[in-house]
Amino acid sequence: MIRLATPADLSQAAEIYEEILDQEQQGPVYTNWQRGKYPTIDTARQAQEAGTLYVGEEDGVLWGVVNLNGLQLPEYDAIPWSIPAARDEVGVIHTLCIRPSCHGRGYARQMVAFCEEESRRLGRTVIRLDTWEGNLPANHLYPSLGYHYAGQAEFFFMGFVRENLNCYEKKL
């Protein structure tokens, strides 16, 4: 089940972030995240308080978390989006994470499908997202789900890391 997060979910959301960072210490590395800076429990709390944090849950255990809103980062202005949309017509997927021990079960696909349906429900006509150029699973997943590669830009993410992010879009 995928649902809106509650304050009681924040510790498990932070556990998922930490498990991903722990796994990346062993390799391979699919994010450009930095422990203690992004993502953190405060990242999850801000999204939960804004009403944009969703969690995937099975038997009381969170298998995934995503922030779904309409916030397009300033760097999005440099991307040659091919699907025209007013700002309020765009849904944006941020920080979609699946607990490492739950990989391979189709949860990422479920979470993306949920984001698309929720965006439609909110009246959005297009969904956009970005992912680090080195995130091979995500860069394979999104095109397989019908997302169009729109371009790449250098982002100065959260004011502490410069990274090249691939941007994708899909008409809803």
CA–CA separation, 162 vs 59, rounded Å?
38
In total, the chain counts a number of residues equal to: 172
Q: For 11-58, how does the pLDDT look when each residue is reduced to its tens digit (9 = 90+)?
A: 999 999 999 999 999 989 899 888 999 999 999 999 999 999 999 999
Provide the 8-state DSSP code for 1. -
The pTM of the full predicted model, rounded to 2 decimals, is 0.95
Question: Helix, strand or coil for residue 123?
Answer: coil
Structure tokens at 114: 């949920």
What structural domains and CATH numbers belong to the chain? 2-171 (3.40.630.30)
pLDDT digits (tens, 9 = 90+) for 59-93: 999 999 999 999 999 999 999 999 999 999 999 99
Confidence (pLDDT) at 162: 81
Tokens of 162: 């410069």
- Please give the pLDDT value at position 32: 86
Is 101 in contact with 16 (CB distance < 8 Å)?
no
Mean pLDDT of 81-106: 96
Yes or no: say if 86 and 166 are a contact pair by the CB < 8 Å rule: no
The string of pLDDT tens digits covering residues 109-165 is 999 999 999 999 999 999 999 999 999 999 999 999 999 999 999 888 767 778 899
Burial class from Cβ neighbours inside 10 Å (0-12, 13-18, 19+) for residue 81 reads middle
